[in-house]
Structure 1
Amino acid sequence: MKNLVPRFVLLSFVLAGLFSVSANAQDEYKEEYNKALEAQKAKNYTLAYTHYEKAAQMASAAGDESIAQKSHVMCAKLAKVNGTAQYKAEDYAGALATFEAGIAHEPKYMPNLYMKGLTQKAMGNTDEALGTFLAETKGSDNKTGRTAAKAIRSHFGAQASAIVSKENISGAEADQALALLDELQTKYEQTPDANSLFYRGLALKAKADYASCVNVMDSAVDIHRGGNTDKAKLFFTKGECLMMAGDNDAAKIAFGKAKFGSYAKPAQHFIETL
């Protein structure tokens, strides 16, 4: 029995020590969280990120998932702020690392994924950027997701436009433009907008596929959301294809709807001469 007392006392000290560590850990993660809040209020976002990151780790270890999750979300938001500053300063490697860290903290916070794509594009990693934008469109249907979809369409639209805007493009060049627009729809799963359809129509016109061009222009008109000056290009191209297909009466009707902006004079010319 004499040996039991020291053992009991020793066990009591051990347990007291364990509880003490737990209590201190709890105080520390709350302290880190409060430090993060203060740094954020002072707009010291780099320091705030550091404190939130520590708070997330310590709160998780202490079993406080509420504070841990709040800290992870704030890390993601501050990563967007800090990474964007690096991006604007053209520190692309640093920005990429910051955005990826933010994604790791909270994958559902989509702005970091979008900015990662922009950074990859700025670094010349176009295929990687497009893949990131695609992931963004799949992960969200919010404003950021729509912006990512627009970035994908703009990329392929710019390439296709550069080809079809040339004078007297060859059949091979027209096929190249069509392949780009097909890739936009198949690989990157993007519904074409009016501009994408316009470029497709110009490529079809270059291949003398006038009937298909007319159909595409009609589809473009149906979804066009701009003003009459911009829409005039669709009617004018339709008129050209109808004219070259020998349907002058229908061509005149199309040209009549194209009399806006820079298309007004050439459209009127065809109306008078056909």
Structure 2
Amino acid sequence: MRKYKQLFLIIVSAFILVPFTGISQTKNDAISAYNEGAQLIKSNPVGAIEAFNKCIKICDAVGDEAEETRVLAETQLPGLHYKLAMESYKQKKIEEAIEKFKKAGEIADKYNNSSILAKVNKVVPQLYMVRGNSLMKQNPQEALKNLDKAVELNPNLTKAYLAKGLIYKDLGDELNMKASLIKTMEVGFAHNDIKTADQAELVLRTFYFNKAVTSLKTENMAEAETCFKSAVEYGSKNPMVYFQLGKIYNSNKQYELAVQTLKRAEEFENGGDAEKAGIFYEMGNAYIGLENNSEACIAFKKAMFGDYAEGAKYQIEVVLKCK
């Protein structure tokens, strides 16, 4: 009986010892996996990630005893994923970099690394914009998809709106071009990206000036007027814009507007008397329409140059009989 009792105690002791021995070995395995990852951080980030993930899995199985090791392993992962993404970016593998940065963001969010997450949230929209810019010519629709994604992730990315506007301009989509460029200006001025906002404004006023000139050639005066007004709205200081708009106002018998607009043309014209002659000739016609002959005489006298000299002389001597 004593013999059986001793045997029973040995068996029970064995069962008691096995779990603790197993835990000790498993914890050591976790530490070993962590150390393996730590050694690979610089030379082999992919291998390091695998080792740290293995470590975390072991720690989860062990439980509270391996909590410290698990936290150490988790801390390493966001930075390693970010490092892999940066390597792809430096190699100009933009699509690959985007996916890796997104993965880094997921890991950073999972393990509460706000610093890495903030970096990812800043860089990913930029990369979508870079990809969009690279596709502008060969695949504009795909470029627009990438740029849309960029502004979805960062609504304040001024240059992405500008790129969209330029693509729509090349596609002949005036409505979306205008909307994108206006958005560029709104965001740019609001966030102190004045240079990009000014670029958008330049594109708009140049577009509408060119469209107005084309409309004049086809004698579509209503469209020409609208486009010249748009050029003015977007900051044009081109005297030709105001001169042509003044002529249109004269033809519409809007003489007050004509005078105001032609005075702006005079203000922006940096040339001499010959360059300003046409402006003063039209101003003279506007004053005639306003029945202000004294001002008309002054204007026509200033128009006595170049191609306008003969017509101005006729108005002065025959029509108005200026003194």
- Aligned mates of 2:128, 2:217 — CA distance in 1: 41
- Calculate the TM-score normalised by the size of structure 1: 0.72
For 1:251, the equivalent position in structure 2 comes to 300
Question: 1:123 & 1:22 partners in 2: Cα distance?
Answer: 53
1:96: how far off? 0.6
Q: Is the 8 A contact 1:76 1:112 kept in 2?
A: no
Residue 177 of structure 1, CA deviation: 3.2
- Aligned counterpart in structure 2 of residue 239 of structure 1, from 281, 303, 318: 281
Post-superposition CA distance 1:171-202 (Å, at most 9, x none): xx4344334455x39xxx94542344344223
Q: Which structure 1 residue ranges, 5 or more long, are not aligned?
A: 1-5, 260-264
Distance 1:155 1:165 in 2: 16
Larger Rg, first or second structure (1 or 2): 2
Q: 2:195 aligns with which of 107, 126, 143?
A: 143
The runs of 5 or more residues in structure 2 that have no matched partner are 1-18, 24-58, 317-323
Matched, 1:219 2:264: yes
TM normalised by structure 2 equals 0.63
State the partner residue of 1:116: 164
* Matched pairs, number: 246
For the pair 1:155 / 2:155, whether they are aligned, the reply is no
Mapped partners of 1:157, 1:95: distance in 2: 27
**CA deviation profile, 1:128-168 (whole Å, cap 9, x unmatched):** 221121111111121111111222223333332322345xx
In 1: Cα distance, 2:120 partner to 2:244 partner? 47
2:32 corresponds in structure 1 to none
Structure number with the bigger relative contact order (C-alpha 8 A, sep ≥ 6) is 1
Q: Which residue of 1 aligns with 2:236?
A: 193
Cα offsets for 1:36-91 (capped at 9, x unmatched): 222333333333333223223322333223322222222222223221110022x0
Does the C-alpha gap of structure 1 residues 16 and 217 become closer, same or farther in structure 2, counting only changes over 3 Å? farther
Change (3 A) 1:39 1:12: closer
Distance 1:227 1:55 in 2: 57
Matches of 2:196 and 2:120 in 1, distance apart?
A: 22
Contact 2:128-2:146 within 8 A present in 1 as well: yes
For 1:221 and 1:62, how far apart are their aligned partners in 2? 66
Evaluate the alpha carbon distance shift between residue 26 and residue 235 of structure 1 in structure 2; reply closer, same or farther with a 3 A threshold: farther
Q: Tell whether the 8 Å contact from 2:132 to 2:144 is kept in structure 1 after alignment.
A: yes
Task: State the partner residue of 1:31.
Answer: 80
* Cross-structure match for 2:109: 60
CA contact (8 A) 1:80 1:99 kept: yes
CA RMSD of aligned residues (A): 3.5
Percent identical residues: 17
Question: 1:262 maps to what in 2?
Answer: none
Match of 1:42 in 2: 91
Query: 8 Å contact 1:210–1:242 — kept in the other structure?
Result: no
Given candidates 217, 221, 224, the residue that maps to 1:177 is 224
Give, in whole Å, the separation in 2 of the partners of 1:248 and 1:65: 74
